Amino acid sequence: MVEYETIIGLEVHVHLKTESKLFCGCSTEFGAAPNTHACPVCTGMPGILPVVNKKAVEYTIKSALALNCKVASRSIFARKNYFYPDLPKNYQISQYDEPLAQNGYLEIGTDSGRRRVGITRIHLEEDAGKLLHCIGSREIDGSLVDFNRCGVPLLEIVSSPDITSPEEAYTYLTTLKNIIRYLEVSDCDMEKGSLRCDANVSVRLVGKKELGVKAEVKNMNSFRAIQKALEYEVKRQIKALESEERIIQETRLWDEKKERTYPMRSKEEAHDYRYFPEPDLVPLIVEKEWIENIRKTISELPDERRERFIREYKLSEYNAGVLTAEKALANYFEKVVKLYNNPKVVTNWVMVELLGRLNAVNKEVEESPISPGQLAELLKLMEKGTISGKIAKTVFEEMFNSGKNPQVIVEEKKLVQITDEKEIGKIVEEVLKENPDAVEEYGKGKQKAIGHLVGQVMRKTQGKANPQLVNKILKEKLLKK
């Protein structure tokens, strides 16, 4: 059997979370009314002069350092010329032969261990506007353009062709997103377009030295879609090679509904863009001292934090991975543990109850109606025996819905655990009287019958009886029968 290998390189564009745009003072706010955040600079009126946003440069350097890149002390902005209706200047200010950062890597976890994927370059550029196609609509038969996004700063991160499978591409993207979010320079929300990814993919026979002809795939709106588009593309290219068809270098679009890619245009070459240095901007000079100061602002990144969680809290690799993927979740977990020092119990409650409820209502941990302090209080009530584990789940649900403190809910709903042996004894007697069959079966040696009796006692007490006591008292009374 002939074997092929897959070669993937990813180009990721990320919106930087600055207040204003890259070269003017317009707001970068997402979702504002069309064309309310636009000015002569970002719409390219004659005579305008761009001024670079220092914060955007800082965020780019911060990301570059976290991705182990070498930051250039001098870099150049360049014009990338092309015509498209969402680009009023007819050029995009980008960086070309002298980018802000180069030669880094990102470490990813794969089935065969941890591996580095090279980062060829990271540069800063401006985004284009957005087209809204209403062709055929009754009011507007045509396309509308919104310039709000014009000039929003973009970080472009280009990987080396080091990724060897669609699944690895998924892992690379997730790892990258988590790091960028930890740095708090972007929210990387694909739905809002603040993270976009183009994928270059080719296949070749194992053992061949030269790269196969690549296709660039665009238009994927989730990491899973990227993985699927790449899987489709790999199959398509292998099939073409096997039937001795020629693969042409082109840009293809992913069709989410039909789950296939189709050709959009033949791939443009760099010279098609007639790059030249942006004459309105001076070279970007970055002092060493500034780089070192930015380096100091980088706190613990996801990998380090995961390792620390395993060490410090004795968590499994998997649990530590889930809890540290998002900075906000890891912070939440650590706040609870600080107040209630039982990492194992906290892990369970955060991963099962909290994440379960948050996912069900599509909320982020930042929006959790239960604060870390409130969750810690709940766990303490359980530990003290004020409430049983089962009741704790009821209280949790109520806390999630109302935002009330657990003590308040326990008092209001009279959920305090019954630990009075006399009181439990009375209910046990009742249950024994009402269930002669189960008592008889137990007498004949059927241990399982006790489970039914425990269930009855718990039902009569709405789950409030202390289960250990119920068991103990039941057994004592059954012995005397």
Q: Which parts of this chain interact with Zn ion (CB under 5 A)?
A: 24, 26, 39, 41-42
Size of the site for Mn ion (CB under 5 A): 1
- Does residue 156 touch Mn ion according to CB under 5 A? yes
Q: Which does 24 bind (CB under 5 to 8 A by kind): Zn ion, Mn ion, none?
A: Zn ion
Give the residue with the Cβ less far from Zn ion, 39 or 225.
Answer: 39
Give the residue with the Cβ less far from Zn ion, 26 or 465.
Answer: 26
Check: CB of residue 468 under 8 Å from CB of residue 399: no
Q: Which does 42 bind (CB under 5 to 8 A by kind): Zn ion, Mn ion, none?
A: Zn ion
Give the residue with the Cβ less far from Mn ion, 105 or 273.
Answer: 273
Give the residue with the Cβ less far from Mn ion, 96 or 223.
Answer: 96
Check: CB of residue 354 under 8 Å from CB of residue 368: yes
Site string for Mn ion, 221-240 (x = CB under 5 A): --------------------
CA end-to-end span of the chain: 75
User: SS3 of 381, please?
Assistant: helix
Q: Which does 150 bind (CB under 5 to 8 A by kind): Zn ion, Mn ion, none?
A: none
Return the exposure string of 47-86: e unless at least 16 CB atoms fall within 10 Å of the residue's CB, then b. eeebebbebbbbbbbbbbbbbebebbeebbbbbbeeeeeb
Amino acid present at 342: N
Q: Which does 156 bind (CB under 5 to 8 A by kind): Zn ion, Mn ion, none?
A: Mn ion
Give the residue with the Cβ less far from Mn ion, 94 or 374.
Answer: 94
Question: Segment contacting Mn ion (CB under 5 A): 148-156, 220-228, 272-280, 441-449?
Answer: 148-156
In angstroms, give the least distance from the CB of 53 to Zn ion: 11
Check: CB of residue 271 under 8 Å from CB of residue 236: no
Q: What is the 3-state secondary structure (H, E, C) of 438-452?
A: HHHHHHCCCCCHHHH
Give the residue with the Cβ less far from Mn ion, 96 or 332.
Answer: 96
Give the residue with the Cβ less far from Mn ion, 214 or 306.
Answer: 214
In angstroms, give the least distance from the CB of 21 to Zn ion: 5
The total of other beta-carbon atoms located within 10 Å of residue 381's CB is 21
Which of these, 170, 55, 75, 190, lies nearest to 117 by C-alpha position?
170
Question: Segment contacting Mn ion (CB under 5 A): 109-117, 152-160, 267-275, 359-367?
Answer: 152-160
CA–CA distance, 211 with 481 (Å, rounded to integer): 83
Give the residue with the Cβ less far from Mn ion, 150 or 450.
Answer: 150
- Does residue 127 touch Mn ion according to CB under 5 A? no
- Does residue 216 touch Mn ion according to CB under 5 A? no
Give the residue with the Cβ less far from Mn ion, 58 or 156.
Answer: 156
Check: CB of residue 323 under 8 Å from CB of residue 329: yes
In angstroms, give the least distance from the CB of 260 to Zn ion: 39
- Burial (CB < 10 A; 0-12, 13-18, 19+), residue 153, is buried
CA 369 to chain centre: 20
Question: Segment contacting Mn ion (CB under 5 A): 150-158, 295-303, 360-368, 406-414?
Answer: 150-158
In angstroms, give the least distance from the CB of 25 to Zn ion: 7
Greatest Cα pair distance, the chain, in angstroms, is 100
Q: Which does 39 bind (CB under 5 to 8 A by kind): Zn ion, Mn ion, none?
A: Zn ion
Which of these, 243, 44, 38, lies nearest to 147 by C-alpha position?
38
In angstroms, give the least distance from the CB of 182 to Zn ion: 30
Return the exposure string of 120-138: e unless at least 16 CB atoms fall within 10 Å of the residue's CB, then b. bbbbbbbbbbeeeeeeeee
Q: Which does 370 bind (CB under 5 to 8 A by kind): Mn ion, Zn ion, none?
A: none
The kind and range of the H/E element at 159 are strand 153-159
> Strand pairing partners for 401?
none
Q: Which does 26 bind (CB under 5 to 8 A by kind): Mn ion, Zn ion, none?
A: Zn ion
In angstroms, give the least distance from the CB of 156 to Zn ion: 21
In angstroms, give the least distance from the CB of 307 to Mn ion: 34
- Residue number with the shortest CB distance to Mn ion? 156
Binding site for Mn ion (CB under 5 A): 156
